[in-house]
Amino acid sequence: MSNYETLIEKAQSLHGEICPGVIMGTRMSMVAMEKLGMDPLEPNDDLMVSVEVDRCMPDAIQAITGCTVGRRTLKCLDYGKFVATFIDVKTGKTIRISARDDKLKDVPGLWTWFENIAELAREKNMAKIMEEKKSAIGKLSGMSDDDLLLIEEFDGEVPLIPGLPMDIVVCSICGEHVMDGKQLQDKDEIICKSCEEQIELRN
């Protein structure tokens, strides 16, 4: 069994199935970790990852990298983008990987598949959706990294290594505790982000 097959099985075990998002997360993790000199088959304590979508891809990335929200090494930014940024917390070396824009249809990839699925979903054609999903799994697995992924490398700042909370405050509106400097300051008042969002919604 190849490393890719082993890792796909690992991702499938966590996510529950193989789908295009799981393929993307697995492929992204393998490429990034290779470029960072890390082995995806071994524990990697020096890796931190930010993902920019709340779909299937982050599950595969968690399974492959071992990064988790609870360990504060997996950051979830809900931007709706198939993008993941991998950081070596020792060196600051950063690999940003996104799904390559294939709208020109020269090498149809993830976005072409999403466009097709969206159209089929509007038609409520579930049989065809499942057929397209199965086809996409094979196609995305077989594509080269260059055709499927846009890979950017740069040297960033070494992030703070996650640890025990060093800062705990109380929101002046709801009275709940806020850790890790996540609060907002409004003049002399400390406000949590959820209360701030409620204020913005009312205005």
Tell me the pLDDT tens digit for each residue of 25-67.
999 999 999 999 999 999 899 999 999 999 999 999 999 999 9
Instruction: Count Cα neighbours of 98 within 13 Å in the Cβ-side half-sphere.
Output: 12
Pair of tokens at residue 52? 């920019």
Tokens of 148: 């499927």
- Stated pTM of the model: 0.85
Written as six digits, the tokens of 198 are 């409620």
Alpha carbon distance 46, 90 (integer Å): 6
Query: Do β-strands 47-51 and 74-76 pair in parallel, antiparallel, or remain unpaired?
Result: parallel
Q: Which residue in the block uniquely carries the two structure tokens 């966590």?
A: 14
Burial 187-198 (b: 16+ CB within 10 A, else e): eeeebbeebeee
Per-residue pLDDT reduced to its tens digit, 113-170 = 888 888 888 988 888 888 888 888 888 899 999 989 999 999 988 877 777 787 899 9
- Mapping DSSP to helix (H, G, I), strand (E, B) and coil, where does residue 191 land? strand
